[in-house]
Chain A
Amino acid sequence: MAIAAALPPRLKLPTAQRLARGVLVALLMLLFALAAGAATDVSVHAFSDALVADDDGQARFPVGAADRVVSLPDDWVQSRPQRRDPAWYRLRFDAAGARERGGPLGLYIDRACANVEVQLNGQRLHAAGRMSDPISAGCERPLLVLLPTALLEERGNTLDLRLAGYALEQVASRQRAAGLSAPLIGPYAELHAMHERAWRLKVLLPQVASAALLLMGLVVLLMGWWRRRETHLAYFGALAIGWAFVTARLWWHDIGLSIYHSELLLVACVPVVALTAVQFLLHYALKRSRPIEVALIAQCAVVPASLLLAGPSRVNMIATSWYMLLVLQVLAAMGLHLWSTWHERRHAFWPMAALLAVVALMLGVELAAQQRLLDPFWRALPNVVMPLAFLGLGLWLVHQYGRALFDAEDLRASLETRVRDATAVMERSFAQMAELRVEQVTQQERKRIAADLHDDLGAKLLTIVHTSESERISTLAREALEEMRLSVRGLTGKPVKLIDALGDWRAEVVGRLSQTGVEGEWQAPTEDMPQTLSARAYVQTTRILREAVNNIIKHSGASHCSIRCTIDAGDFQLKIQDNGKGIPLELDGRLDRGHGMSSMKHRAKQLQGQCLVESGPGYGTVIRLTIPLEKHTHTA
């Protein structure tokens, strides 16, 4: 489990499940193997009764005091209630043919509680540990003694057993009250196999279970420690460790404390285990309650106090009452837990319900065993099944824990992806904003330059326009002002729709011509069209047109002027024709510079277009301007 917890979450889930299933199957198979080996051989003799005498302090069977015969197995609760002194049992048997059979004989006692001494024909064969309080507790330890062939008679062998134990009222659990099972005599090899099986079931298995529970408890406790929010894990870890400690009594035969104190210690542990169990169930169901917690803690103090008050001779009664009460508390907590899980976490209900049912059943068996209501096989069952149930519960919790980790990992991964996406979006929009900002700043700067030009250069030119005495200078200044404005517009302008440009040009040309008495004729498409002109193309064309109209008004002496605008094969064409006197040729055969022809041509060339002028004295003038539209449609 510890290894599984350290693996990456994706590996862990299936691994933990497979592991859990494997462990459960192996444990069940082991249990069946242990339980199945209980068949006895015919050659083994079981004693059904014995002669009994009270111990007189001598180390031998007190022959004179032997007054009665008891049937075996003997339970002191029935045969000599409230007696605390050791008792002698005398068994007689014949060993005829033992030598012929080959192997040695053996004595097997399944239960001799608490400690037994064995004498064969007056010879001490077995004695281990103390025979007085604190007696070395061997209640759960099967005993196998070799009967040496040399000591055996053909007939009339005497086997004396000295049994020391506690009265029922001295001990908390009936399992530790004195008693003797029916001793068996038979071939040593067979008895050895029997002893081996019993040893495994009654000693080895509880030891292994204690170790496993301790280990698992520590791991789960650690998990709970790392995730403080999941307090139920810590409680479960404590529960497993507590259970391992309480059940250590099954195999830990020599504690070294007097029976009263060892029982006190044990009983004091039980309410602590009950506390962890109840708290685990409540916390796991997310039903925490402070009053219950306080009551449970108080109970941990009250239980040992009640035992102390009652004294050594009422241990069993007090402990049994408490056990009943504690089991009821745990059962109530289980009910509450399952009720809550059913309503809130249906998916977790059935595994928990199954495990808790097993635990509840085992608690019931344990309680019944206390009252000697069940035969010995069933009495041993809780010792085996309870650890298994705990292990199952632990695995389930680890599974849930792993799943939560897995989900968290998944969530974290998806969160990471979302954060990455969001960051990308933010970066993109930031870049866009930066671009927009640059554009805004550029636009602002252009506007500022335009405003400066107007305020400073414009104002000065204007002053010249209106204060100059010379008409020529006024006109030049006015034209310079116009040029400046057109330049500024070219600097800041947006693309102009061709239809709007035509409107502006028409208003200007027709207005000026009519003011000067020249008859103007304007022909242009009037329906809406998709083409646009860049601000520069608009400005340059306006200048060319203005120059041409200036020429007509000032120099041509024309009475009629026609302007024709057409769009043809992606070109914008402008034809300006007047009936004036034409442009005189210079000496070198070129058209007059003063008429601005060269600047008109230059401007057209800048727009990748051309400007053709046809003129002759007396024939008027025709100016043809062609500008390719596409190249200026979208450039600003």
Chain B
Amino acid sequence: MKTILLLEDLPEIRAWMKDLVLRVFPDGQISESARVHDALELVSAIKFDLALIDLGLPDGSGVAVVEKLRDTQSECQSVVVTIHDDDDHLFPALQAGAFGYILKEQAREMIAEQLQRMAQGEPPLSPSIARRVIAYFAEQNKPQANALPHVSLTERESEVLLRVAKGYTLPEIGVQLGLSRHTIADYVKQIYRKLNVSSRAEAALEAQRLGLFRR
């Protein structure tokens, strides 16, 4: 049995998403919420295995819920479900610890398939997101960059990112590098994790610096 958080403000969409999730995970136990505030309370009370989180909500951004889950329930998979397909919206959510994203307007079958894949540990990664990740780590690893706990990508991870950025699909990359589909998926998961760890360290350092200034 899976415990699932569903955070979505539009009732119709929440209804069909619930329907869809139950189709993929028939024994799932779903907690619904329409606001960030309510979702945060649910997170404090219930332990979730999966969270489907909308970004633009009436009382804030779903990123706050992603962060809280990351901090308090590290086993839970946060998936951003959004109408925004651009990396300006998705990247902050991924930095905050989201494991993947689903674009709402896709056909139900596609969404169901993506959910299943993510449940099996295969997160999606678009070329534009890959480029943002590459740029982010390049910035972090500059010599004059702030004294962060050093998080950097391995050569293989960088290789995978570069190929995704050029438009190759994950199966294609698997063939090119002579690796299995699962290994490539592991790399992608690892990239997401490192992005989150590095972002959190950066945020902590920033907070510390602000604290120093305030003193």
Given A500-B128, A503-B167, A504-B128 in contact, is the A462-B104 Cβ separation under 8 Å?
Answer: yes
Does B167 contact A507, Cβ atoms closer than 8 Å?
yes
- B190, chain A: closest CB distance, angstroms: 20
Complex interface: stretch among B81-89, B91-99, B151-159, B205-213: B81-89
Are the C-beta atoms of A504 and B127 separated by less than 8 Å? yes
Instruction: Verify if B41 is at the interface (C-beta below 8 Å from A).
Output: no
Restricting to B121-156, which residues have a CB under 8 Å from any CB of A? 126-128, 131
Residue-wise interface mask of B (90-110) relative to A, using a CB-CB cutoff of 8 A (1 in contact, 0 not): 000000000000001101100
Q: How far is the CB of B41 from chain A (nearest CB, A)?
A: 24
Bound-state Cα–Cα, A505 to B127, Å: 9
- A507/B83 in contact, CB under 8 A: no
- Which of B9-17, B30-38, B62-70, B181-189 binds A? B9-17
Partner of A455, one of B56, B169, B172: B56
Contact of A451 among B13, B56, B167 (CB under 8 A): B56
Q: Is A345 an interface residue (CB 8 A)?
A: no
- Name the A residues within 8 Å of B127 (CB-CB): 500, 503-504, 506-507
Q: Quick check: B166 and A506 within 8 Å, CB to CB?
A: yes
Residues of A contacting B25 in the complex (Cβ-Cβ under 8 angstroms): none
Q: Are A482 and B167 CB-contacts (below 8 A) given A504-B128, A507-B127?
A: no
Q: Per-residue 0/1 for A496-514: is the Cβ within 8 Å of any B Cβ (1 yes, 0 no)?
A: 0001101111110011001
Q: Does A603 contact B (CB under 8 A)?
A: no
Assess whether B167 is in contact with A506, with CB atoms less than 8 Å apart. Answer: yes
Cα–Cα, bound, A526→B127 (Å): 14
Residues of A within 8 A of B12 (CB): 463, 466-467
| Contact present for B166 and A482 (CB under 8 Å) | no
How far, in angstroms, from A451 to B56 measured CA to CA in the complex? 9
Contact of A510 among B128, B131, B169 (CB under 8 A): B169
Write the A531-552 contact mask toward B (1 if CB under 8 angstroms, else 0). 0000000000000000000000
The residue from A454, A466, A478, A510 contacting B16, defined by CB atoms under 8 A apart: A466
Q: How far is the CB of A156 from chain B (nearest CB, A)?
A: 118
- Asked, given contacts A458-B83, A459-B10, A500-B131, whether A478 binds B105 with beta carbons under 8 Å apart, the answer is yes
A529 to nearest B CB, angstroms? 13
Q: Whose C-beta in chain A lies nearest to the C-beta of B131?
A: A500
Which of chain B's residues have a CB closer than 8 A to the CB of A507?
126-127, 164, 167-169
The CA of A302 and the CA of B56, in the complex, are separated in Å by 96
| CB of B165 closer than 8 Å to a CB of A | yes
B residues less than 8 Å from A461 (CB atoms): 105
Q: Does A602 contact B (CB under 8 A)?
A: no
Residues on the B chain within 8 Å of A455, using CB: 56
A182 within 8 A of B: no
Give the size range of A's interface with the partner: 20 to 34
Q: How far is it, in angstroms, between the C-alpha of A572 and the C-alpha of B104 when the chains are bound?
A: 33
| A489 adjacent to chain B (CB < 8 Å) | yes
CA distance A66 to B113 in the complex (A): 157
- A430 interface contact, C-beta 8 A: no
Could you tell me which residues of chain A, from 350 to 405, have a CB within 8 Å of some CB in chain B?
none
CB distance from B83 to the nearest CB of A (A): 5
Please, which residues of chain B bring their CB within 8 A of the CB of A485? 85-86
| Tally of contact residues, B, Cβ under 8 A | 25
Tell me whether B105 and A502 are in contact (CB under 8 A): no
Min distance, Cβ A475 to any Cβ of chain B, angstroms: 9
A511 touches B169 (CB 8 A): yes
1/0 per residue, CB under 8 A from B, across A413-436: the answer is 000000000000000000000000
Report how far A454 CA is from B82 CA in the complex, Å. Answer: 10
Given contacts A463-B10, A506-B168, contact A454 B105 (CB under 8 A): no
Q: Which residues of A contact B13 (CB under 8 A)?
A: 459, 462-463, 466
List the B side residues contacting A338 at CB < 8 Å.
none
A229 CA to B103 CA, complexed, in Å: 80
Contacts of B56 in A (CB 8 A): 451, 454-455
- Any B CB within 8 A of the CB of A625: no
Knowing A459-B10, A466-B16, A507-B126 are in contact, say whether A454-B167 is a contact too (CB < 8 A): no
Q: Is A267 an interface residue (CB 8 A)?
A: no
**B residues less than 8 Å from A481 (CB atoms):** 83, 105
Cβ-based interface call for A522 (8 A) = yes
The answer, yes or no, to whether A109 is at the interface (CB within 8 Å) is: no
A487 nearest CB across to chain B (Å): 13
| A465 interfacial contact with B, CB 8 Å | yes
Closest Cβ of chain A: how far from B151's Cβ, in Å? 25
Contact call B128/A482, Cβ cutoff below 8 A:
no
**How far, in angstroms, from A451 to B12 measured CA to CA in the complex?**
20
Give the distance in Å from the alpha carbon of A526 to the alpha carbon of B56 in the complex: 36
Whether A526 lies near B166 (C-beta < 8 A) is yes
**Cβ B166 vs Cβ A489 within 8 A:** no
| Chain B residues within 8 Å of A451, by CB | 56
Q: Return chain B residues, CB-CB under 8 Å to A463.
A: 10, 12-13
Closest residue on chain B to residue A524 by CB atoms: B167
| Chain B residues whose C-beta falls within 8 Å of the C-beta of A500 in the assembled complex | 127-128, 131, 165
* B:1-45 near A, CB below 8 Å: 10, 12-13, 16
**Among B84, B108, B164: residue with most chain A CB under 10 A:** B84
Show 28 residue pairs from A and B whose CB-CB distance is below 8 angstroms, ordered by the A residue. A454-B56, A454-B83, A455-B56, A458-B83, A459-B83, A461-B105, A462-B10, A462-B13, A462-B83, A463-B10, A463-B13, A466-B13, A467-B16, A474-B107, A478-B105, A500-B127, A500-B131, A500-B165, A502-B166, A503-B127, A503-B131, A503-B165, A504-B167, A506-B166, A507-B127, A511-B169, A514-B169, A526-B166
- A residues with CB within 8 A of B: 451, 454-455, 458-459, 461-463, 465-467, 474, 478, 481-482, 485, 489, 499-500, 502-507, 510-511, 514, 522, 526
Closest 7 CB pairs of A and B: A506-B167, A503-B167, A503-B127, A507-B167, A466-B16, A481-B105, A463-B12
